[in-house]
A and B are shown apart, each in its own frame.
Chain A
Amino acid sequence: MALFIDIISGVCLLIGSFLIFSGALGVLRFPDFYTRMHAAGVTETLAASLILIGLMLIAGWGLVLAKLILILLFILLTSPTASHALGKAAWKAGLKPAGTTENSDHR
């Protein structure tokens, strides 16, 4: 059973590392600010959750598990707020998204 949990946690950590790397790759490669924000979103939702879940499985029952859950909840609650504030500030500053298809923007 312990081996089984170790394997699941290893898989979670590896997939999380891969996803977090993909997100950072997107942040480097995508053409403009708004598209980069989407790539950053990948690293902050599923990738961070998977890494923290992997750690939770290693931690076992106890205070450490509760603290990890607290960190996960905190990241999931604040990251949308931070990205909304960032997007809104960029939009208010007049930063136009590049190469967008304007589909009925003014209806």
Chain B
Amino acid sequence: MILIATTVALLAVMAMAMIRAFAGPTIFDRVLAGNLFGTKVVLLIAVLGFLFGRPDFLDVALTYALINFISVIGVLRFVEITKRSTSKEEK
């Protein structure tokens, strides 16, 4: 019962993160929303594992957490480098 409530709350939070990701306005808001969405997916997978009685899902959650962290850093590097090269071209 409480697990279902937690799942609903997490889904609502993910929907709100999506709204922020589409609304922007800057690219960093979108990365922030993406990161938020990612960490909530980790929690959602863990809660769903208990809801369905299959705690093996935790392996997936752990892997997702690793990939989420790396991807945020990767996207930020990409944004930084693209910004630098475009500002050089303007000069």
Contact = CB atoms under 8 A, between A and B. Distances in A.
- Is there a contact between chains A and B in the complex with CB atoms less than 8 Å apart? yes
Interface of A: 9-10, 13-14, 16-18, 20-21, 23-25, 27-28, 33, 36-37, 40, 43-44, 48, 51-52, 54-55, 58-59, 64, 67-68, 70-71, 74-75, 78-79, 81-82, 85-86, 89-90, 92-93, 95
Contacts of A78: 65, 69
Nearest to A85: B76
Given A10-B2, A51-B6, A28 B12 contact: no
A28 B20 contact: yes
A67 B62 contact: yes
Chain B interface bracket (under 10, 10 to 19, 20 to 34, 35 or more): 35 or more
Q: Is the interface of A mostly helix, strand, loop or mixed?
A: helix
Interface of B: 2-3, 5-6, 9-10, 12-13, 16-17, 19-20, 26, 28-29, 31-33, 35-36, 39-40, 42-43, 46-47, 50, 55, 58-59, 61-62, 65-66, 69, 72-73, 76, 79-80, 83
Contacts of A58: 50
Contacts of B47: 51, 55
